[in-house]
Amino acid sequence: MSNESAPLFRAALLPRRMPLDLPCVLHFPDRDLEARTYDICYGGIGLLLPEATPEFSPASLRAVSVDALGEVLLDMRWRRMHRIGAAFAEQDAVQGQLARFFRDIGSYPESAL
C-alpha cells in the first residue's frame, strides 16, 4: 500500500474547522485574559492570544467564554507562539451549546470547506 494516500486519509478523520473571529475570555485559576477565537469545530476551538500575553502554564487554561456560546471547559492541546488549540473537555455536555451556537450564527463547520 502506498503512503501517498495516508495524508488524505488522516485529513478525512480530522474534525472540520470553521473560521470564527470573535472576542473571547480565557479563564485561568488566577486570572482571566481577553483573546480572540480563530476557528471552531464540534471538538474544540482555536484561540489567538494578544501579542503581550503574560507567561502561563498550558495546563492551567480551564475554560473559554464566547458571547452566544457561553463558558466551555477546555483541555489545551497545543500552543504555537500566539495560537492555542484546545479541545472541549466535556464533549457530550457541550454538544447542545454548540448546536445552538451554530444555529444562531447560521453557519456550521461542515459547510466551511
Is residue 15 pLDDT above 70, yes or no? no
Domains of the chain, earliest start first: 17-106 (2.40.10.220)
Distance between CA atoms of 58 and 5, rounded to whole angstroms? Answer: 34
- The SS3 assignment for 13 reads helix
Distance between CA atoms of 35 and 82, rounded to whole angstroms? Answer: 10
Q: Find out whether 96 and 88 touch, Cβ atoms under 8 Å.
A: no
Element (H, E) at 102: helix 91-105
The pLDDT of residue 27 is 97
Give per-residue pLDDT as tens, 52-106.
888 888 789 999 999 989 999 999 999 998 999 999 999 999 999 999 999 999 9
The pLDDT of residue 22 is 97
Q: Find out whether 44 and 35 touch, Cβ atoms under 8 Å.
A: no
pTM greater than the 0.85 cutoff: no
